Structure 1
Amino acid sequence: MAIVSIHELGKATIADEEGFFQFENLRPGSYHLHITHVGFRAENKNISILDADRFVELSLKESAIQLESLTIEANPFKNGPLEQSQTIMVLDRDFLERNNGGTFANALEKLPGISTINTGVGISKPVIRGMSFNRIMINDRGIKQEGQQWGADHGLEIDPFDVDRVEVVKGPSSLLYGSDGMAGVINIAPPAFKQDNEIEGSFTSMYRSNNDMFSNSIAVEGNQGDLVFGGRFTMQDFADYRVPADQFNYAGFILPIFENRLKNTAGRERHFSTMAGAKKDWGYSTLTISRFDQEAGIFAGAVGVPNSFNLRHDGNFRNIDIPRQSNQHLKVLWNNSILINDYWLELDMGYQKNERREFSRPHAQEVAPDNPFGNLALSLVLDVWTANARISKTHGEKGQSIFGFNSQYSINRQSGFEFLLPNFESLQGGLFYFREHKFTQDFVVNAGLRLDGAYHDIEEHLQPIYERMRPTGEMDQRNPDIQREFFNGSGSAGFSWVFLEKFNLKFNVGSAYRIPTPIELSSNGVHHGNFRHEVGNATLERERSYQTDLNLAYSSKKFLVTFSPFFGYYDGYIYLAPAPRFSPLPGSSIIWEYRQNNAIFTGGELMTNISPLKNLTFNLGAEYVYNQNLDTGLPLPLTPPFSVLSGVEYKLPNIRNVFDNLYVFAEVRQAADQNRVDRNERTTEGYTLLEAGLGGDVLFGKQEVKFQLSGQNLTNAVYFNHLSRYRLLNLPEQGRNISFSIKVPLTIR
């Protein structure tokens, strides 16, 4: 059955067996239709409705490649095989559920060009083409996710079960989203509203053997007349995770790992979200409230110098001891889409409160006898107010134009007996204009301009100095008062050209501008999550990039291949690098400092899907990133290695009307050695990982139950992730893991 949706209204309907569909009570205006059908290429069409009924005839082309049916709409502009020149990957809920590794970022690793920085098993963040942190923007329902994204041990505060559709834009994306989209953007889009008088629910449960993780999530969503609503509650509990080693080497010392488990890496999570709103013929308005709540232990050897004493087993693999971290993220989002004559106004407003707390036992040099903070080493509370608006107009079949602005006001407050970041306030905003023009059915050009400005007001911080828990009367200025203003522009242009019917060439060129963050300007303290002393630089200037991105695709009924090379020159690239000196602060190692040098990034991705038989699919994805600091002649730190992910999937026939949509799959991940490292950075050996599994639907009468059984690192290989912060401690990644998940869809009405 074909699914037909109207992007601007969030409406969707299903065509009947003859292919007929209809939408009732549409106001006169311009709309964008999107049509998907399994086994066919997705299609998009602009239509204009006047006072009379409009008859639309559409034809879908057959395709055996599953990926062809996964193009979706994204905020704030539409996408399709033609309409956007950037390299875009789109994921639906089925893909995310099949690849749920306990965090949202881990599900993205299956895409070429995407890797993750991991902190054990429960915390990860995405890396796009070798760049992460403040160069990747995460948009949740049109609002930029703001947390502590500057830290490698600060994961994305997003419930992995509460994600329906994801669009990954690789390449320069600052034009429409803001300066933090220099490396790419990850858009999390809400699901289409349910049809009138429809209420559905689901229950999902998952178990992972490596860290004995139990996950349960229950959701409901519906449509009652003009009222739309939804809600979800998720629980995750996990124990210390297992590694294929019983000891590790740190600074020449051999230290134990009791029963192959890393002590104090357990955690628990409780997340909820709720949405309610009105859906009218003029558009919709919804209010979403969500809260992410996580308590996670920090490996005992990652705070201070690891020794045999603090690595001893405490008798419980599930308890969360000190050191630990506590993360809460509250979001209140108000989303609107309003039809005004021939224009669509999209207005998104949001408030976020991100609270991060790290607990550890203080050193005698850090506190007075009347320490008011107890074991609270660091507290960071970030309040963010966001307002975005876009006005779009469709120019018939000739494309569309968009004018919009983004604005954001942030306040950060810190406390605790340690210091890492000062108090600061930040105001940022930007204006942009985007135009897309379709010269022919097969050739589309787009271009745009953007202006950005920012003001950072950073407070001075004086840290008292103690000796043996007695004040010396002296103060250490960890950072001075800093006030900085920034203003600059950016622009991009691109085209999409379908030639010889089955070839599609997309090319994008742009100049992006990134504003230094308060963290890069003023941090100065031990970041235990990264096992290092990090120092900011108050003299950092703006970062300017000149980037090109190309995507060449060949698509036939049974074969799809895409090649995506990229190149970027960065004037004043800001990065964190190890310095040739040790920190004077307790519980630390060498100093890492923010630097600014000219640099280049280049590389590319290759992806193929082959379906030689009706139910058999082979796929391969390869990625490579090469960068170099043009001032030192050395590579930049924390660059992912060359890797290849190859797999095969076979769909099995149905069994006695009980087992349906059955499939088996196997995947091999091969990563090369990473010997291109910065000064004082360690090299990492390559590795090979094997994953396999099966899944499908089981019918219990009329009740459908989806299941999947899979195994990761089935050979229990000992390997190191070059981007993992535990790599600094010579700790291998998690060992063999067996996952089992079920999902029970429920039709309430």
Structure 2
Amino acid sequence: MKKIHLVLIVLLYTFFSANSFAAELSEVKGKITDASTQEPLAGATVYISDLKAVTTTNSNGEFTLKNIPSKGRFLMEVRFIGYKTYSKMVDLATINTLNVPMEPSVIESAEVVITGSPFSSNNKTNSLSVVTVGKDKLAQAGGTNLVDAISRIPGVSQVSTGGAISKPTIRGLGYNRVLTMVDGAREEAQQWGDEHGIEVDQFSAARVEILKGPASLLYGSDALGGVINIIDDLVPPPGVFNGDFTTSYSTNNGLSASSLMLQGNDNGFVYRGRASYKNAYGFGYKNTTVPNSGFNEFNLNGMVGLNKSWGYSHLTFSRFHTNIGLVEDGPNEQGNFLNENGEVITKSEAQERRLGLPFQNINHYRAALNSNFILGNGQLKTTFAFQRNMRKEFEESATEPGLNLNLNSYTYDVKYYFPNAGKWEPAIGVQGMYQKNVNKGDEFLIPDYNSNNIGAFAYLKRNFEKGAINIGARYDYKKINGEDLSIDGEQVFNRFDNKFSNISGSIGFAYEVAKNLVLKGNAGSGFRAPNIAELAANGRHEGTFRYEIGNSKLKQETSLQFDLGLEYTAKSVTFGLNAYANRIFNYIYPGNFNKETKELTNEAGEIEILPVYRFVQTKADLIGGEASMDFHLVKSLHFENSFAYVRGINRSDDSPLPFIPAASINNELRFEPGIKGLDGTYIKVGVSNVLKQARFDSFETQTDGYTLLDAGIGTSIKTGKGKLNLWVTGQNLLDKKYYNHLSRYKPAGIYNTGRNVTFGINIPFM
């Protein structure tokens, strides 16, 4: 089956490449002005995302987009600080000059979203709930990793293991129910594990788009809860070569993080290279440093490609490498951490940057070829990717790993967008993945296995003057085979051959019921096949404080979700309101039932008793909503507020579902004085209120509520090379001791991170 897939990929790519280079060369010129004064706006950014085409206006407000097709309909965007983002669908066959009057705005207009629909669209015609976080906000968040930086978006949470590992949760669903997209391809990195974070260089993200709700129609299995799409920067205009250097330091864990990027565009030949490094010792709280919770990370990534009149083709490649310390034991009754000899570990010892045992060593290699071929008035978008994830865990020896997992993943995604006149927008697609996992260590948690899945979908969007409706359907088939394993006569894994298939669909609408007031609604089904750990795990995974046992008889999860949203955007106030109800059939979760335990003996002859967690299924409901409101009663003063709540119900006995985040209320007051020559200057103060989580499963415990105080200050200085950005972000400034309900260290009595202040600078050059 894998060979058939590869042959089809090569034939498709060769055929469409050969037929695409005949496209005619074209360009679009225009002028960007202030709508009120008619003054030209110099430095405005103009781009078409679907073509990877970008340029900026000169001192007269004029621009030229080169090397673009002479046919096709594309969404063009214009952005300029202090002005409302302009977006318009343009037909390149009928337009070669475009004059854009920009309207001044005190609100931060939402960016155009791409993830939620096959066709690029703005919020007024996109029915799904999508939130976009830009590069500046990601940096100013002061997160230790990318998921940490977006974890306060309403509806988004993180399953954390100290400062190094964060797993995204959307509306109460995480792990293999949330799909992470990188370089246009789904990330495959053993994400079933509690202590397996996403393996992406956070500096490479120009923006992150978060799709809330089932996205199985567009992405297949594992997008049942939502999608996190990590998008790299557009390349510079033709003839431009530039770069930047970013560095930051955080006081809590001594995290030093730096990244150097260079990129250029030589008449359509585009390229980019980036190197990043991070190093941190253990995180701390209230004069306590957690030993062996530090990490180091070294990443390399690059891109080469062509931006031509026939479209674009980009080859991206990356190597993500990290070492992460794992904490096995919590503090004693006096709050002290002890070494193996029972001696108190001092703060200076805990702050050493040398990792002790146990620790993880992870290498993740990724190569992806992303292309968009313009075929007449239609488009063919393709993504072919290969990933190799090598995950080692060192427990008794720093040179010989106990657990050693090697996972190879081949993915493909082919979509065709039919020619359209802007009213009816049809698209079809086919996606697939082949995986093979091999154990190379002397410890085993999951078996050797291979899996193969393929899916196809059809999508149709109908645009109206004041909105749009969309409908789609999809079929998926997945096969997964686990290998038999016995050691010294003891059966560790039994062979299994499982097959899963599903038909899913969705329908949605967006309608402007009044000026600036948009109503959105969706009904969609989701699908997820059980992951390998749920089917076959049999062992203790370092850092989880439990022994896991899988169940090869598990059925696939399916869901049906309804959500309704209302968005209002006016001159001085914006608000959004979303409510949803999600019923999941055959919901899979691990539980410690009847207080089952298992005794393990280490090489030193010591006996450790661990709780046994078995994977079971039930019918589940997740009901909740998010609300946000942003006041701009004074031009320079922003008051942003948000609320998120989700309630998980086990329908078998109406008990709470496990691992559900607590309700949260976030408030931020942001002052932007508008200092001439210092665009982007801000001072902010934020308060995060996380309510008590009193709904928990029998093997969990209640988590008390808490309030955290944050603050930040930053500015941008104009230079001949671009904007030099400076920022300082303070988190948990009152040094509050607290547990997050989703912290994997909570059962061990280890608090979340205390006071942390991050200093950062971004320097452009060339």
The equivalent of 2:324 in structure 1 is 296
Other structure's SS at 1:172 match: coil
TM superposition shift of 1:63? 3.3
The equivalent of 1:556 in structure 2 is 570
Q: CA–CA distance in 2 between the matches of 1:260 and 1:78?
A: 49
The equivalent of 2:479 in structure 1 is 455
Q: CA–CA distance in 2 between the matches of 1:342 and 1:436?
A: 17
Do the aligned partners of 2:330 and 2:337 also contact (CA within 8 Å) in 1?
no
Q: CA–CA distance in 1 between the matches of 2:136 and 2:316?
A: 23
Other structure's SS at 1:455 match: strand
TM superposition shift of 1:551? 1.2
Other structure's SS at 2:654 match: coil
Q: Which of 339, 364, 373 pairs up with 2:374?
A: 339
Do the aligned partners of 1:449 and 1:492 also contact (CA within 8 Å) in 2?
yes
Q: Deviations for 1:628-681, whole angstroms, at most 9, x for unmatched residues?
A: 1001321111110011110010012427x5x44321001111011111001121
2:659 counterpart of 1:638: yes
Other structure's SS at 2:724 match: strand
Matched AA of 2:362:
N
The equivalent of 2:56 in structure 1 is 14
User: Where do residues 123-522 of structure 1 align in structure 2 (5 Å cutoff)?
Assistant: 123-244=165-286, 260-301=288-329, 308-310=338-340, 312-313=344-345, 315=349, 317-361=352-396, 375-438=400-463, 440-464=464-488, 475-522=489-536
TM superposition shift of 1:357? 0.9
2:42 counterpart of 1:42: no
The equivalent of 1:582 in structure 2 is 597
Q: CA–CA distance in 2 between the matches of 1:224 and 1:648?
A: 44
Do the aligned partners of 2:53 and 2:68 also contact (CA within 8 Å) in 1?
no
Other structure's SS at 2:55 match: strand
TM superposition shift of 1:280? 1.0
TM superposition shift of 1:265? 1.2
Q: CA–CA distance in 2 between the matches of 1:458 and 1:501?
A: 56
Other structure's SS at 1:139 match: strand
TM superposition shift of 1:94? 1.3
Distance 1:217 1:26, change over 3 A: closer
Matched AA of 1:542:
Q
Give the TM-score normalised by structure 2.
0.89
Aligned length: 708
Measured on the aligned residues, the alpha-carbon RMSD in Å equals 2.2
TM superposition shift of 1:62? 4.6
Q: CA–CA distance in 2 between the matches of 1:63 and 1:563?
A: 22
Give the TM-score normalised by structure 1.
0.91
Matched AA of 2:577:
F
TM superposition shift of 1:555? 1.2
Q: Which of 57, 60, 71 pairs up with 2:112?
A: 71
Q: Deviations for 1:329-351, whole angstroms, at most 9, x for unmatched residues?
A: 10011111110111101111010
Identity of aligned pairs, percent? 30
Q: CA–CA distance in 2 between the matches of 1:61 and 1:182?
A: 39
Other structure's SS at 1:161 match: helix
Q: 615-624 or 393-402, which moves further after superposition?
A: 393-402
Distance 1:613 1:461, change over 3 A: same
TM superposition shift of 1:523? 0.7
Distance 1:31 1:112, change over 3 A: same
Q: Which of 668, 673, 677 pairs up with 2:696?
A: 677
Matched AA of 1:633:
D
TM superposition shift of 1:400? 1.5
Q: CA–CA distance in 2 between the matches of 1:111 and 1:713?
A: 17
TM superposition shift of 1:488? 1.4
The equivalent of 1:121 in structure 2 is 163
TM superposition shift of 1:194? 1.0
Other structure's SS at 2:321 match: strand
The equivalent of 2:3 in structure 1 is none
Q: Deviations for 1:121-172, whole angstroms, at most 9, x for unmatched residues?
A: 1111111011100000001121000002111211110111111121110011
Other structure's SS at 2:329 match: helix
Distance 1:494 1:462, change over 3 A: same
Q: CA–CA distance in 2 between the matches of 1:347 and 1:221?
A: 23
2:707 counterpart of 1:688: yes
2:704 counterpart of 1:663: no
Do the aligned partners of 1:327 and 1:356 also contact (CA within 8 Å) in 2?
yes
Matched AA of 1:120:
G
Other structure's SS at 2:402 match: strand
Do the aligned partners of 1:205 and 1:217 also contact (CA within 8 Å) in 2?
yes
TM superposition shift of 1:176? 0.4
TM superposition shift of 1:42? 3.1
Other structure's SS at 2:121 match: coil
Q: Deviations for 1:463-503, whole angstroms, at most 9, x for unmatched residues?
A: 33xxxxxxxxxx32222100011111100000000011121
Q: Deviations for 1:345-402, whole angstroms, at most 9, x for unmatched residues?
A: 111101000111111128xxxxxxxxxx975221111100011100112522214211
Q: CA–CA distance in 2 between the matches of 1:307 and 1:670?
A: 29
Do the aligned partners of 1:531 and 1:588 also contact (CA within 8 Å) in 2?
no
Distance 1:350 1:423, change over 3 A: same
Q: CA–CA distance in 2 between the matches of 1:701 and 1:601?
A: 52
TM superposition shift of 1:61? 5.0
Matched AA of 1:406:
Q
Distance 1:35 1:88, change over 3 A: same
Q: CA–CA distance in 2 between the matches of 1:307 and 1:198?
A: 54
Q: CA–CA distance in 1 between the matches of 2:234 and 2:146?
A: 20
Q: CA–CA distance in 2 between the matches of 1:290 and 1:646?
A: 37
Matched AA of 2:88:
K
Other structure's SS at 1:531 match: coil
Q: CA–CA distance in 1 between the matches of 2:612 and 2:546?
A: 6
Other structure's SS at 2:543 match: helix
Other structure's SS at 2:138 match: helix
Distance 1:77 1:11, change over 3 A: same
Q: CA–CA distance in 2 between the matches of 1:206 and 1:515?
A: 40
Q: Deviations for 1:226-255, whole angstroms, at most 9, x for unmatched residues?
A: 2100010001111122122xxxxxxxxxxx
Q: CA–CA distance in 2 between the matches of 1:18 and 1:498?
A: 35
Distance 1:217 1:374, change over 3 A: closer
TM superposition shift of 1:595? 0.9
The equivalent of 1:737 in structure 2 is 756
Do the aligned partners of 1:30 and 1:46 also contact (CA within 8 Å) in 2?
no
Other structure's SS at 1:8 match: helix
TM superposition shift of 1:84? 1.9
The equivalent of 2:23 in structure 1 is none
Other structure's SS at 2:173 match: coil
Q: Which runs of 5+ in 2 are unaligned?
A: 1-40, 602-607
Do the aligned partners of 1:303 and 1:531 also contact (CA within 8 Å) in 2?
no
2:668 counterpart of 1:647: yes
The equivalent of 2:631 in structure 1 is 610
The equivalent of 2:126 in structure 1 is 84
Do the aligned partners of 2:247 and 2:256 also contact (CA within 8 Å) in 1?
yes
Distance 1:13 1:303, change over 3 A: same
Do the aligned partners of 1:350 and 1:387 also contact (CA within 8 Å) in 2?
yes
Do the aligned partners of 1:47 and 1:396 also contact (CA within 8 Å) in 2?
no
Matched AA of 1:267:
F
Q: Deviations for 1:440-479, whole angstroms, at most 9, x for unmatched residues?
A: 2112000000000001010012233xxxxxxxxxx32222
Q: Deviations for 1:703-722, whole angstroms, at most 9, x for unmatched residues?
A: 75311112111001010011
Matched AA of 1:273:
N
Matched AA of 1:562:
G
2:540 counterpart of 1:526: yes
Other structure's SS at 2:124 match: coil
Q: CA–CA distance in 2 between the matches of 1:152 and 1:304?
A: 24
